[in-house]
A and B are shown apart, each in its own frame.
Chain A
């Protein structure tokens, strides 16, 4: 009798435990669905409107793994993952930019050990950036299929994730190049991403498709159709971006001019960007994207300034350069003004 009671007790305990566990699982699952739905419907659109890239950076780094852990109990949430990993990648890239400046300052001071150390940190930063950006791209591929051949059928909302994922793909290749290819990001995803970008409307996406296409033509001029001037195309895309208040195309133009060593074009593109910031406010819906573009251009300007002077772009003076003569108004003559009245 006592053994019967003991067996019954064990069975009851097992059933209760199973019920509890299944109950927890249901709760986790529901929470996961809720969290994903909330992230897609509210959190990401909210962050896109943010005017504080640092805060979004910290938030993405903090939340990415926690939020995506729900994948174990629900499904793989590719859309939030694209955004979170891309943003986190940009955080690592920003760190790498800082180390690149430290390298330059140490080099200018002829401190080779410090310069080497800063270069190591710079490469580590880019390797981390490449890893995150590549993850963003892979989630985009998992959600929509590989870009480059056919265009997927995208809703208006999905287009944003498509564009973010493709941008992350291009960024991953560039970051990995700066990290000695240590992450082994497949280099062909850059070209695939450029073709994939042509699936969305150029006007709606702030000239970005035109800008990335033109950048390929700058690098491989024989691929450009006859009569097309890729630099002119880049300028047109930048003008579209300026009008839209989302200046990602400016960042593409500046990056390409910088990598080609086209100093005159580079300065002119940075100046145009700085001018545009004064004339056209950011699109409130995509303010974050505009700020990210601005940060990327500021990073290039900072490097140029640091190479030349040892310190970065002076505060609030993006678009100026160290060797420009300050203009002095000559409309008035001090002798005339102080002369007898």
Chain B
């Protein structure tokens, strides 16, 4: 009898499923203490239900995270859209300059690319994009409010993320000087007056004290130069079938949670710093940015289908815009 009980205990005790262990490398400027890394903790709990045991590794240097992913030390990685360009041109184009004018367009875009029908665009070679998270619009911060037009920026020094080709193209296009920078040093350059302008999302304003560089004369142009995002890219063959689809849907469902944080960061900016462009100036910016987007598309930097998709979403919001008639993208 005792033997039977023992046998029953052994046979019926719940055993842990042998889930495959995978490494998720997360770029977060604040490392393991940051908010993005915190979201990754929630994500890995979800991933258990999808059949993968994810081990997290924090990176405060995005280039190292990207290199480790390429070298196969990470099975998946979280990077900004610009850094994710080598892995998927379609999704990297989400950060195309001037292409996302509002949060609404961004949300629609994320939902669209996260739907099962878009799965074919998510895979490029051996890489699969397994989700996109918004990080907020990128604004131009100027030390002098007079620098509010394309002409005024000519000849000025702009802190420019040096690995991002579209950024360099834009700065060159307006006739300004590229001052190579990265996410760790651009604030110092701006605050110390080594550059006349820098671009950043609202989330950088308080922690990096960008108001010091703005001082009494500076301002922030209320115009989305681009929409910063984080993308989860994976070595496709290291994850079970269907994982990517579940992952994309799960991350898309986080949009509003992240949007609340973006709204709080934006609200933390002192109101008097905002510079509202005139309708003509805004049109001038939009025309210029569209021209650059098309050049970069023709050069193979931006993905044509994504640009078309974004144009159609913009036109749903503003059907009367000239680009909706021109249909150049």
Contact = CB atoms under 8 A, between A and B. Distances in A.
Interface string A174-208: 10011011001011101100000000000000000
Given A177-B30, A181-B35, A222-B188, A112 B46 contact: yes
Interface stretch (B53-61, B221-229, B299-307): B53-61
A187 B210 CA distance: 12
B10 interface: no
A226 B223 CA distance: 37
A238 B57 CA distance: 26
Given A112-B45, A178-B38, A220-B185, A259 B32 contact: yes
A95 B29 CA distance: 26
A110 interface: yes
Contacts of A220: 184-185, 187-188
Top 6 A-B pairs, shortest CB-CB distance: A222-B185, A259-B31, A259-B33, A187-B207, A187-B206, A261-B58
18 contacts: A110-B16, A110-B17, A112-B49, A115-B45, A119-B42, A177-B35, A177-B38, A184-B268, A187-B207, A188-B211, A191-B209, A220-B187, A222-B184, A259-B30, A259-B33, A259-B60, A260-B31, A261-B31
Contacts of A177: 30, 33-35, 38
Contacts of A184: 264, 268
Interface in A56-103: 103
Contacts of A180: 35, 38, 257, 261
A178 B32 contact: no
B19 interface: yes
Contacts of A181: 35, 261, 264
A223 interface: yes
Is the interface on chain B under 10, 10 to 19, 20 to 34, or 35 or more residues?
35 or more
Contact of B206 (A119, A188, A219): A188
Given A112-B45, A177-B34, A260-B31, 16 more contacts: A107-B45, A107-B48, A112-B48, A115-B45, A116-B42, A119-B41, A177-B35, A177-B38, A187-B207, A187-B268, A191-B207, A220-B187, A222-B185, A258-B33, A259-B34, A261-B32
B44 interface: yes
Contacts, number: 88
Given A109-B16, A180-B35, A186-B206, A259 B58 contact: yes
Interface string B54-74: 000111100000000000000
A221 interface: yes
A302 B208 CA distance: 32
A332 to B, nearest CB: 42
B206 A261 contact: no
A230 to B, nearest CB: 13
Contact of A116 (B45, B185, B206): B45
Contact of B32 (A112, A119, A258): A258
Interface string B15-34: 01101000000000111111
B217 to A, nearest CB: 19
Interface residues of A, number: 29
Dominant secondary structure of chain A at its interface with chain B: helix
Contacts of B187: 220
Contacts of B58: 259-261
Interface in B165-183: none
Interface in A32-57: none
Interface string B242-266: 0000000000000001000100100
A107 B261 contact: no
Nearest to B186: A222
A330 B51 CA distance: 47
A180 B254 CA distance: 12
B256 to A, nearest CB: 12
Contacts of A178: 33, 38
Contacts of B41: 103, 119
A213 to B, nearest CB: 15
Interface in B193-215: 206-209, 211
Interface centre among B16, B185, B209 (most CB of A within 10 A): B209
A223 B16 contact: no
Interface in A1-41: none
B188 A188 contact: no
B207 A188 contact: yes
A101 B66 CA distance: 30
A277 B186 CA distance: 41
Contacts of A260: 31-32, 58, 60
Contacts of A222: 184-185, 188
Nearest to A174: B33
Nearest to B207: A187
A304 B305 CA distance: 46
Interface centre among A109, A174, A260 (most CB of B within 10 A): A260
A301 to B, nearest CB: 14
Contact of B268 (A110, A112, A186, A261): A186
Interface centre among B16, B17, B45 (most CB of A within 10 A): B45
A4 B44 CA distance: 83
A260 B38 CA distance: 14
B123 to A, nearest CB: 27
Interface centre among A174, A178, A184, A259 (most CB of B within 10 A): A259
B48 A115 contact: yes
B21 to A, nearest CB: 11
Contacts of A191: 207-209
A173 B58 CA distance: 19
Interface string A254-295: 010011110000000000000000000000000000000000
A178 B30 CA distance: 11
Contact of A119 (B19, B45, B53): B45
Contacts of B184: 219-222
A285 B148 CA distance: 58
